[in-house]
Structure 1
Amino acid sequence: MESDTLDMESDAAALKKLSQSESAGGKETETVAAAALAAEAAAEGAPPTKRQKTVAEEEDLSDREAEDEDEDNDDDEEEEEDEDEDDEDDEEVPQLVLERVQSTQSNLRTFRRIPVFIVDYHNDVLEFIYRCLGTRHLPLENNLLVHFDSHPDLVIPRHIAASSTYDKETMLNELSIENWIMPTLYAGHFNRMVWLKNSWCKQIPTGKHSFKIGQKDDCIGVDCPLDYFIADGNYCNSDDLQESRQVELQVHDADSDSLDPTQFVTAEDGKGFVLDIDLDFFSTSNPFLEIYKDADCYNQLKEIFHFVSVEAVKKAAKATISEYMATADKRQTQLEALKRIFWHLEEQRSLEGLELPDETVISPEVYAKIVRLTEQLADKYPDDEIDWHLIFDSGSTTDNNGLPHHISTSQELEEYFANFKRFLERLPVPPVAITMAHSAQDDYCPQDQVAFIEERVLRLLKDVFGERLNDKAILQYMDDPWDVMKL
């Protein structure tokens, strides 16, 4: 795997952001990267989730990093002269940074053929995208992301400071499969995203959604009053968002032969168009359905985590900003109260000693459902197998629409493949790069289907793009070596 860094590009983005903050009178913020909440909730032996990698894989990654460090130490003496040269180059960085910030599409590099970069965990495609930004195969800002997936992956990572979005290493280390896109929108790398889904995915309604993304108290927020953003407490008043920028999200059902990509891809996008494909677009499972299944845990969590939507008043054209804000604040208060309860259960192993929650936040009816859940779990599972952090994480995915679960039949797969090929043939311009995610290790794409789906998708890409496509896909999940400058 390529290990080149984007020091100059990261510095450029940071310098640009700093200059914007100073011109707006904003104060300097310190980069903070808090530990991911979901990582704390990982349970030994629990199925991988949409929120995190397994502990074993993290340990394996640490082992490999340790091995790399040993190899680096062996090469220290050979690299002394290179380090001296690097020190001299570092003195020139400020000037290079200014030049890079001013870069335009006129000095972009082009790939000889369209590369295909395949990962298992979807957030790992960021490594390739960042590298393309750094080598100027993509403009630093205002690119288009077309995202085939059964999930929008637009969760906002509340545990990561907004000021960290320009720190590549923080992004690669801290982001996860559900939240890797929003920081790239906040940083401006993409200003348009198109989520292409099947009609059985209901997380975000179809249509065009234009909104502002910015930061409040160094946390990323949006002024888009969709349940998807309100459910996680990420909706903000436009006036409260600092360092904001306008972004456009389009959502289309792709399981139709009428999908016309010219609605959102134009010839002008030829220099900054990334086609991103999650194989769970074609067939997806909800792994949370299997967690503590004997106690019907997931369905009970849907009732416990339910909140009152603003969609009804929005459709009636009666919703106001104050109602959006009130709903977002109430939802955030609800999540904090539920977290306190589930954290108490994890630490004390029962509800004894817990101060009863405010009834205006957690009603007696909802609290009774929590009590019933604890009783049924205790009846079906040994206490040491019950992970309340993981259960809270599961509940957080339910919101009002939940995660899709649709294991496609062979006939359905053929229909989806035909629609996908038709979409590719209708593109006005080919993508600069193609990224792809298996989503098999986290159980979102059925493991008995993923190899077949990958083979068919690669064949369709070759059928449509022909010699314009790189002969061999980069299998990052198989540790294929890669170098953007040689593609």
Structure 2
Amino acid sequence: IASRLKTDVTTVICTSLIGVFNSRRLDHQQLVERARKVAAAHRMANNLQLLPGVNKRHTPVFVVEEHFEVLKHWFDAVKVGVIPQTGNTLLHIDGHSDGGIPFDLSIVPQFRPPKDHHEVVSMMQSNDVFIAAAALAGLIQRFIWVWPAWDIKDHRNESDHEAFDVQVGWRTFYPLKGEPVRRLCACSRPQLQNTNLGSRLAEWECWDHEGENTEPHEGPVISSLNCTLEMTGSVEFVSERKALELLQAGGWITEKDRLMLDVDEDYYGCESSVMPLYQAGLPQSTIDNISELLGQLLCVETVKQEYLADSFFHAVIHTVLNLKMNDCKSGHGHGPCLTNFDVDKALINKIPWFVSSLLAGTFEDLPCSREENSNNILMQAVLRILEDLKVSQLQALDYVGVCLRTAPTNFFFEENSLHVCHGPNTPNQTEVTFHVPEEAENKERTELLKKLLSLLPSHPSVVTVCRSVRDGYTPWRHFGFVENAIFSALKDAFSDVKEESFHFDENLLGGKKGWPDRHK
């Protein structure tokens, strides 16, 4: 499951606090070794050194690219005592619930904290399952999702404040053959209801997870007596306006809540990053062909290599652009125009230069092969596609660039996953609601966010901000404004959030300045 699909209330109730299926089964030892490899390659030593000092002086704010990456910062904060190991309240301000299910539960700590970095890595499976993973480990007891007004149509069957008690545990299943198996079960009920007969608690409704590829509420309904409970918690979904009203009234979030704050930049809006390519008239088949060829030519395993791969692609695009801008059809050039034959010949002559730059110097760690002939063939194939594109299409490709499909810290990270950087969230392959805000709406949402944060009765112990650019959610054209607006809201609302509070994750796409501004 690549994109963060919207889920109905019942699904999110259960999956916000539990994950209950394995859609992908690997040998357990392979999974453990993979976690060890990723953890070894991405030690968080710098974070652990940073946090003790941060705790004494100001609230740490961690800026991440992909949402699952908050887990490493949360559990590092636990290690040094910035936040408690269990029982925290997560205030999640986001355009999406992120209430999905971990792909593989056999490697996720359940009803206990992770023992080490290896287990934290095993929880980092996707951008929409990190909350369930953290809740299963006991870190989160109360989950509050504040959703924006532009997402109203996905809440048309709900009130503006839905609140549920949740219980999670085990049920023993006895197959006809083999040993008994323990399966997760979950119970939920709406919180206290007011009726004409007075206040009363609703009845618990419980489900047994029946097998793979099903949501918890799709399993058989069972008696609560058949679920051996291990943890309790609560889940709330509240509109931004209702959240403001509840905070102004008081008593909703109190000083007793051990608060963690999490803000996604796609709270402001959501737009597929493939749109500049579509608007330039590039078909998905051409985009996919370029991705396929580049994935065979360049083998990228780190964010540093990712940046270099995009720089190489940028140089290739500009070489083609300079020739196309001077061809006889363009009318853009200065001086004698170039025929199609001239452009073709010039690009063929450039192939050895491109290949030699891959085999030595700045880009020498990028090629999948050291064989000059195979690199020549792949380079020629890439140039053939680019040569047939219009100037506007080349400019759109240069703007979007090439990147990894997910950060190397993702537990299911696949090597050789370089592609045209549009993320999985394409219009024909997603159920996600798109919304591109105008400038006035951005300013209005910023003021509302400042009010929300300033009304919190206590400051959060840790703050995480997610960019959501790599996976194609946050509108690129608004990225700079949105991030600065969120940072400003945090500093205005919390006196202990200073400039030095902000820690920019090592896996940010395009580094600290971000992907849309990487060439500036």
Corresponding residue to 2:187 among 223, 239, 242: 223
Following superposition, the deviation at residue 200 of structure 1 comes to 3.4
Q: For each residue in 1:344-398, what CA deviation from the matched residue of structure 2 results, as whole angstroms up to 9, or x when unmatched?
A: xxxxxxxxxxxxxxxxxxxxxxxxxxxxxxxxxxxxxxxxxxxxxxxx9999986
CA distance in 1 between partners of 2:426 and 2:186 (Å): 24
Corresponding residue SS for 1:125: helix
CA distance in 2 between partners of 1:471 and 1:254 (Å): 29
In structure 2, the partner of 1:137 is 82
Following superposition, the deviation at residue 264 of structure 1 comes to 3.3
Following superposition, the deviation at residue 470 of structure 1 comes to 5.4
Following superposition, the deviation at residue 249 of structure 1 comes to 0.8
AA at the equivalent of 1:465 = F
Q: For each residue in 1:172-199, what CA deviation from the matched residue of structure 2 results, as whole angstroms up to 9, or x when unmatched?
A: 2442101011122222211101000113
> CA 1:211 to 1:179, structure 2 compared with 1: closer, same or farther past 3 Å?
same
Contact 2:108–2:133 (CA under 8 A) maintained in structure 1 = no
Q: How many residues align?
A: 289
Following superposition, the deviation at residue 423 of structure 1 comes to 0.5
In structure 1, the partner of 2:167 is 212
Q: For each residue in 1:210-240, what CA deviation from the matched residue of structure 2 results, as whole angstroms up to 9, or x when unmatched?
A: 12223455665533489xx999512254645
Q: Which is richer in helix?
A: 1
In structure 1, the partner of 2:67 is 122
TM-score (ref. length: structure 1) = 0.50
Q: For each residue in 1:4-32, what CA deviation from the matched residue of structure 2 results, as whole angstroms up to 9, or x when unmatched?
A: xxxxxxxxxxxxxxxxxxxxxxxxxxx99
CA distance in 1 between partners of 2:462 and 2:74 (Å): 9
AA at the equivalent of 1:185 = A
Determine if the alignment matches structure 1 residue 172 to structure 2 residue 136: no
Contact 1:212–1:245 (CA under 8 A) maintained in structure 2 = yes
Following superposition, the deviation at residue 246 of structure 1 comes to 1.6
Superposition pairs for residues 29-68 of structure 1, below 5 Å?
Answer: 34=25
CA distance in 2 between partners of 1:290 and 1:160 (Å): 37
Structural RMSD (CA): 4.5
In structure 1, the partner of 2:270 is 284
Q: Which is richer in strand?
A: 2
Corresponding residue SS for 2:488: helix
Superposition pairs for residues 318-397 of structure 1, below 5 Å?
Answer: none
Corresponding residue SS for 1:209: strand
Unaligned runs of 5+ in 1: 1-30, 37-57, 69-108, 296-391, 482-487
> CA 1:131 to 1:67, structure 2 compared with 1: closer, same or farther past 3 Å?
closer
AA at the equivalent of 1:233 = E
> CA 1:193 to 1:264, structure 2 compared with 1: closer, same or farther past 3 Å?
farther
Corresponding residue SS for 2:485: helix
> CA 1:62 to 1:110, structure 2 compared with 1: closer, same or farther past 3 Å?
closer
Corresponding residue SS for 1:268: coil
Corresponding residue to 1:233 among 210, 215, 224: 215
CA distance in 2 between partners of 1:283 and 1:410 (Å): 11
AA at the equivalent of 1:252 = V
Corresponding residue to 1:150 among 91, 95, 99: 95
CA distance in 2 between partners of 1:429 and 1:67 (Å): 33
Identity %: 19
TM-score (ref. length: structure 2) = 0.47
Q: For each residue in 1:427-475, what CA deviation from the matched residue of structure 2 results, as whole angstroms up to 9, or x when unmatched?
A: 1111111111000011110122122211111012112223454534100
> CA 1:422 to 1:188, structure 2 compared with 1: closer, same or farther past 3 Å?
same
In structure 1, the partner of 2:475 is 446
Contact 2:272–2:427 (CA under 8 A) maintained in structure 1 = no
Superposition pairs for residues 85-104 of structure 1, below 5 Å?
Answer: none
Contact 1:212–1:224 (CA under 8 A) maintained in structure 2 = yes
In structure 1, the partner of 2:236 is 250
CA distance in 2 between partners of 1:196 and 1:67 (Å): 31
Following superposition, the deviation at residue 290 of structure 1 comes to 10
Corresponding residue to 1:191 among 141, 154, 161: 141
CA distance in 1 between partners of 2:448 and 2:76 (Å): 31
Determine if the alignment matches structure 1 residue 408 to structure 2 residue 437: yes
AA at the equivalent of 2:57 = R
Determine if the alignment matches structure 1 residue 264 to structure 2 residue 284: no
Following superposition, the deviation at residue 477 of structure 1 comes to 4.4
> CA 1:394 to 1:412, structure 2 compared with 1: closer, same or farther past 3 Å?
closer
Computing the radius of gyration from Cα coordinates, the structure with the larger value is 2
AA at the equivalent of 1:222 = A
Corresponding residue to 1:182 among 132, 147, 154: 132
Following superposition, the deviation at residue 424 of structure 1 comes to 1.2
Corresponding residue SS for 1:411: helix
CA distance in 1 between partners of 2:473 and 2:26 (Å): 24
In structure 1, the partner of 2:371 is none
CA distance in 1 between partners of 2:238 and 2:497 (Å): 27
In structure 1, the partner of 2:259 is 273
AA at the equivalent of 2:215 = G
